[in-house]
Structure 1
Amino acid sequence: MTVIIMAGGRSRRMGFNKSFLKYGDKTFIEHQITKLNKIFHEIIISANDRSIYDNLHLPIVPDVIPEKGPLSGICAGLMYTKNSHAFVVACDMPFINEKVILYLRRYIVGYDVVVPQTNRGLEPMHAFYSTNCIQPMYRCLEEGKLRIVDFFSEVRVKIVDEKEFGGLDASGQSLINLNTPEEYKKYCGNN
């Protein structure tokens, strides 16, 4: 199975590339790769600037349609993979939890999207997508519907409430993404 690490964002709120923020002795993206290598046999980086990720020695896939946001990156990653499903994770989620990911993965049979839901809402940047999503995603991109959830009504979606897997994540942080310097300091300041 495949994982697509979404590293193509502009990081406007953080002010610099979040992939290279430090968590312990590794960057966010290195930390994710180390964890995800235990679960997935293929790792793809979704990014438009290949050169800054060359040192990771992984496939780097640019957006299918430039300047259309994460939906375009997910679509491109799904077009690249030879597997039927891919797990998509944002590069600014350093606390990913293997048990939570495996819990979500158990629902992929019969569904095109398996997405967790927290008190913040759906978490589409920490979800599984099937290649059946490619055409609906592409249509949304062409129509200017750029929110990831815009194509959900056209596919089979399984929403998994955080209460179902909360016991697997003792820290309660596996679905937290860090968008601002303040959030980074709050969660990673003492590592």
Structure 2
Amino acid sequence: MEKSASLNGLILIGGKSRRMGTPKEKMVWHDKLQREYLADLLAPYCAQVCFSCRPEQCAELGQQPFPALPDAHLDIGPMGGILSAFESDTHSAWLVLACDLPFVNEQALKQLIAHRDSSKMVTAFRNPINGLPEPLIAIWEPQSYRTLQEVATAGNYALRQALDNMPVQMLTPADPTILFNVNTPQEAKQVPLIAATRQGR
């Protein structure tokens, strides 16, 4: 059986958080900045963990223990961050996490990694509502890079549509709450309510 590629971690913090009104990577859900929580979560499972960011964010991130990876493809959303990651290391797989997932935890990462199929291009959780793979809590294998390049060159920057052209290992999340993402202040207000419900299980 062919050995899986080394696994790096990529935390996407380059969005401008216009709907939220405050940087989502600086929200505090776990007694620390969300970006720090995610980096600490990924570190035991990845050869290296990087923050995918806009070039102007690099100065702030310079003192972090995890390196900044400036986006070389601006204004095309998360695809730009993933493309930039592969350009920095084409031989490794990237475990990609959006910064707006407050309920991602070690259990979710363990499930994703344990059921990783490196013969596919992506290992991702299936969204229980629409049945589609979630691209921003997923492992992107090195062989996905060429397809991402092709769809980006064609002017299509939607990762979910890119996944239509890729073989994907789809997993049912043990806890679907991990896929809840926060884009607005209204959604942020739901986080403590959902957290209380989860603790009461």
| Equivalent of residue 132 in structure 1, options 134, 138, 143 | 143
| Equivalent of residue 98 in structure 1, options 90, 106, 112 | 106
Cα distance between partner residues in 1 of 2:129 and 2:98: 16
Cα distance between partner residues in 2 of 1:103 and 1:93: 16
Q: Deviations over 1:136-158 (max 9, x none)?
A: 11222222101002332443211
Cα 1:186–1:152, aligned 2, differ >3 Å: closer, same or farther?
A: closer
- 1:108 equivalent in alignment to 2:117: yes
| Equivalent of residue 38 in structure 2, options 32, 38, 41 | 32
Could you tell me which residue of structure 1 aligns to residue 82 of structure 2?
74
Could you tell me which residue of structure 1 aligns to residue 63 of structure 2?
55
Cα distance between partner residues in 2 of 1:39 and 1:123: 20
- Structure 2: segments with no counterpart, 5+ residues: 1-6, 197-201
Could you tell me which residue of structure 1 aligns to residue 3 of structure 2?
none
Q: What's the Cα RMSD here?
A: 2.1
SS in 1 for 2:108: helix
With normalisation by structure 1, the TM-score equals 0.86
Q: How many residues align?
A: 184
- Shifted more, 41-50 versus 152-161: the winner is 152-161
- 1:173 equivalent in alignment to 2:177: yes
Q: CA shift at 1:83, angstroms?
A: 4.8
Q: CA shift at 1:91, angstroms?
A: 0.8
Cα distance between partner residues in 1 of 2:151 and 2:117: 23
One-letter code aligned to 1:90: A
Could you tell me which residue of structure 2 aligns to residue 65 of structure 1?
73
| Equivalent of residue 147 in structure 1, options 142, 158, 161 | 158
Cα distance between partner residues in 2 of 1:56 and 1:120: 37
Cα distance between partner residues in 2 of 1:113 and 1:3: 14
- Structure 1: segments with no counterpart, 5+ residues: none
Cα distance between partner residues in 1 of 2:72 and 2:149: 8
Any conservation in 2 of the 1:32–1:94 contact (CA below 8 Å)?
no
Q: Deviations over 1:15-44 (max 9, x none)?
A: 121001112420111111222222223101
Cα 1:82–1:71, aligned 2, differ >3 Å: closer, same or farther?
A: closer
Cα distance between partner residues in 2 of 1:145 and 1:92: 23
Cα distance between partner residues in 2 of 1:83 and 1:32: 23
SS in 1 for 2:190: helix
With normalisation by structure 2, the TM-score equals 0.82
